[in-house]
Structure 1
Amino acid sequence: MTESEPGRAVRTYLDHLSVERGLAANTLSSYRRDLRRYLEYLHEVGVAALDQVTEATVASFLVRLREGDGEHPALSSSSAARTVVAVRGFHKFAVRDGLATHDPAGAVKPPSPVKRLPKALPLTEVEAILDAAGAAGTTLALRDRALLEMLYGTGARISEAVGLDVDDLDLTDESQGTVLLRGKGGKERLVPVGSFAREAVSAYLVRGRPALASVGVSTSSTAKSMGGALFLNARGGRLSRQSAWAVLVKAADRAGITADVSPHTMRHSFATHLLDGGADVRVVQELLGHASVTTTQVYTLVTVDNLREVFATAHPRARA
């Protein structure tokens, strides 16, 4: 069979990627596979020359990728996007190299990736992690419990939590306190501290932090670097972001939680549980320190399962 004009152009493009661009073998293999499928589609729809390809041709190829056919399964948005990127690169090269007079693919946008929902833990698992914080009976257990209660109780980012100074806390109210969190771009927000976090932090301040601070004053350099840090490490210095992360991972492991858990998991859980409890999305936006409510609204998608469950049990026409 005589090689078609698009086929020759694709071969030239792949040579360009291999020789001049120096693409890795695996990447080149992906381009070759994606463009082979594109050539098959062009042959199927009767396109024999590059200048016969229109924007509609490329767009319909994208639809075929997403829907699949008898020989190919439907592709995910990310896989289809990768193929479209290969096609766009090919047509751009063809025009630049004089193999075609116009670029029909430039205006065809790859499909947007699926918006991944934040991972939130059930309340029972969050409580199990909090209960498993630190080795029981140790000074560090008081710190670890206070840290994790603060992460879940305020929705603080890990960097915001380890950056706290003692003076950022106001626990004078016996039932609830406040904490000043410094977020991205230096933006500050005042967040309530619930009774559980307040009790854990108070216990740490009275029985845990003084012991850790006394270790830190053994050298003037450590004492100076410690400053007024709220959460201290075993040497009396400010707890690092990495060490705080390790505190959470160890607690999750002790609690037998098999899901991947990170500090952001606690933040996601904070937001999701608030919305499940009836909080307004704009209130959650303020608590999280999001500049736009659009960022916060992704959490409302997490509660869909909860809404379905309520609907199924409460609506008279929802039950079979």
Structure 2
Amino acid sequence: MNDETPDDLTEAWSNVLGAYEQHLRAERDLSAHSVRAYLTDLQSLASHAGRLGVDDPAGLTIRTLRSWLAHLQTMGKARTTLARRSTSARVFTAWLARTGRADADAGALLVNPKSHRELPVALSETEVRALLDATTDALVDDGTRGLRDLAILELLYATGIRVGELVGLDVDDLDRSRRVVRVLGKGRKERAVPYGLPASDAVELWLERGRPELATEASGPAVFLGTRGGRIDPRAVRRVVHERLAAVEGAPDLGPHGLRHTAATHLLEGGADLRSVQEILGHASLGTTQIYTHVSNERLRSAFKLAHPRA
């Protein structure tokens, strides 16, 4: 049996996880991706608990939970993964107790393993300019696809939105006169994000000249389309970013999230305050945004070491 996913859940586990899935979808209104992540974590817990003879979630104890996390650690799971699994377990056991499916909250005393947060990699302004210039220069050869790719890159960098937010954009989400895009983020929270003139020009060019070439009945109101005319999917956007960055000599191989990191870093380096960057990125916690101050400090330190004669 795989250590991560049980071959066969007991009836008790199946029933409870089914009810929990409904709770996550209907009451917490989580995205399909978030629901899937929670259930994957809990299936791993169910598998480990079953090996310890805990065939019903009501029988979970703090000892079982700690044993599960220790087992994952011996398998070489990263600290970030362990922290996420711990959070999943605590939210689940709290729900069990709150809904009367367990006598007590087994995870109340569970402490998240401290995770080591690596600083995100960001492009330099020179690399961003080279990326966008190379994509623009290739428009003659790339045609419709080039117009779309340029609009995608410009908008990702201008706004710092997530790839899932980008692919979910409809034409009406763009306030083209005010250069503001309305985004539906995590937890279905809506926010408005401004974008600049270069992104506006690229988007207008795509909407007026590129999109009509690909649009079909399946396109609906989607802003960005795949080669077959349907709404573009995140994998295609990731492929666009990787391929276009490959043309920039010396640039790191980043995906759409790398452009999000880059946008945040450049905003802070340009003098934007942390709260404003938090609003633009759609972070629920200011602590999540603060990591970009460390990125900026690291870049300044590197520049100092390279440039100062007594560094």
| Shared fold per TM-score greater than 0.5 | yes
Q: Provide TM-score, normalisation by structure 1.
A: 0.58
Q: Is the 8 A contact 2:127 2:251 kept in 1?
A: no
- Deviation of residue 306 (structure 1)? 4.1
Which of 99, 121, 124 is the matching residue for 1:122? 124
Aligned to 1:278: 271
Structure 2 counterparts to residues 1-320 of structure 1, below 5 A: 112-133=114-135, 135-137=138-140, 138-173=143-178, 177-213=179-215, 216=216, 223=217, 225-308=218-301
- Deviation of residue 238 (structure 1)? 0.8
- Deviation of residue 128 (structure 1)? 1.8
Q: CA RMSD in A?
A: 3.2
SS of structure 2 residue aligned to 1:133:
helix
Write out per-residue CA displacement over residues 2-60 of structure 1, whole angstroms, 9 at most, x where no aligned residue.
Answer: xxxxxxxxxxxxxxxxxx99xxxxxxxxx9xx9xxxxxxxxxxxxxxxxxxxxxxxxxx
Distance in structure 1 (CA, Å) of the matches to 2:300 and 2:251: 26
Distance in structure 1 (CA, Å) of the matches to 2:270 and 2:169: 28
Distance in structure 1 (CA, Å) of the matches to 2:306 and 2:248: 32
- Deviation of residue 256 (structure 1)? 3.0
Q: Is the 8 A contact 1:133 1:247 kept in 2?
A: no
Q: Provide TM-score, normalisation by structure 2.
A: 0.60
Unmatched segments (≥5 aa) in structure 1: 1-19, 22-30, 35-76, 82-106, 217-222
- Deviation of residue 115 (structure 1)? 1.7
- Deviation of residue 180 (structure 1)? 0.4
Distance in structure 1 (CA, Å) of the matches to 2:250 and 2:130: 8
SS of structure 2 residue aligned to 1:239:
coil
One-letter code of the match for 2:248?
Answer: A
CA shift in 2, pair 1:141/1:114, >3 Å: same
SS of structure 1 residue aligned to 2:193:
strand
In the alignment of these two chains, the number of paired residues is: 209
- Deviation of residue 210 (structure 1)? 1.2
Distance in structure 1 (CA, Å) of the matches to 2:249 and 2:301: 29
SS of structure 2 residue aligned to 1:191:
strand
Q: Is the 8 A contact 2:246 2:253 kept in 1?
A: no
Q: Percent identity?
A: 49
Write out per-residue CA displacement over residues 62-113 of structure 1, whole angstroms, 9 at most, x where no aligned residue.
Answer: xxxxxxxxxxxxxxx97xx9xxxxxxxxxxxxxxxxxxxxxxxxx9x89734
SS of structure 2 residue aligned to 1:198:
helix
